[in-house]
Amino acid sequence: DHIIVCGYGRNGNQAVSKLLAYNKNFVVIDHDEKVLEPLYDSGMLYINGNATEDEVLKEAGIERASTLMCTLPGDADNVFIVLSAKQLNEKLKIISRATKESTTYKLKLAGADNVIMPDKIGGDHMASLVVTPDLVEFLGHLSVSRQEGSINIEEMDFDHICTDGQEHAIKELDLRKKTGCTVIGYRAPDGNYSVNPDPDMIIRKNSKLIFIGKPEQIEKLKQTYKD
């Protein structure tokens, strides 16, 4: 039930630092011995090998892994690895990087669940700094990562919120009064999202609420409903 990260370049490096912050189990594969050097005494698992070879994926435990991340710079390599991995473990969740737009479709055909194009995300971000600078600044202040020791957005399942197992309207639960947090989203049992749900909305079984708050309010939320 671990994560395999193919490629330890800038992309893979950043992904790994986030996985570490969340105490996830992972193994890194890179064919370049030099980029793996910083991992030697880190206690992190790595394999010096080529992820395009089935043997290397097997050595990384692909058959029992939960997730594969392909971060290689070459689109062809990523497509090849996704195809191989899917054959070795059909249940694998696969996230891949792509350079060219046209690769996105190929990666999805090969079995990738999510495709990330860093250049597109980067270009979009650059323009946002011009067209909505204050909003970018605000979103940059929101931490959704435990990495920085603070978190502003958290989700909570029906089971944790409606402790009696009954469906309630959001306003019945006095969530703001009890925790200080504000409800900003609702994920319905069918996976549809409502942004800024109405206080009268009924929280259904198998749904989730999304909250915003200061770190201490999020902490209060978790203590109140998760512990």
Could you say which residues in the range 183-222 bind a copy of itself, by CB under 8 A?
A: 184-185, 187, 193-196, 208, 210, 212-214, 217
Which phi and psi (to 5°) does residue 4 adopt?
Answer: -105, 125
| Residue 134 binds a copy of itself (CB under 8 A) | yes
Q: Which residues of 173-205 are buried (b: 16+ CB within 10 A; e: fewer)?
A: bebbeebbbebebbbeeeeeeeeebeeebebee
The single residue among 152, 188, 201, 222 that binds a copy of itself, judged by CB under 8 A, is: 152
Chain-centre distance for alpha carbon 139: 17
Question: For residues 205 and 29, what is the distance between their CA atoms, to the nearest angstrom?
Answer: 41
Interface with a copy of itself (CB under 8 A), residue from 34, 64, 91, 141: 141
Q: Which of residues 64-83 bind a copy of itself (CB under 8 A)?
A: 67, 69, 71
Binding track, positions 132-151, relative to Ca ion; x by CB under 5 A: --x-----------------
23: left (phi over 0), alpha (psi -120 to 50) or beta: left
**Would you say 139 or 169 has its CB closer to a copy of itself?**
139
Of residues 83-102, which lie at the interface with a copy of itself (CB under 8 A)?
Answer: 93, 95, 97, 99-101
Stretch that binds a copy of itself, among 33-41, 76-84, 122-130, 160-168 (CB under 8 A): 122-130
169 binds a copy of itself (CB under 8 A): no
**Distances in whole angstroms, Cα of residue 199 to Cα of each of 130, 156, 166, 176, 196:** 35, 16, 17, 11, 9
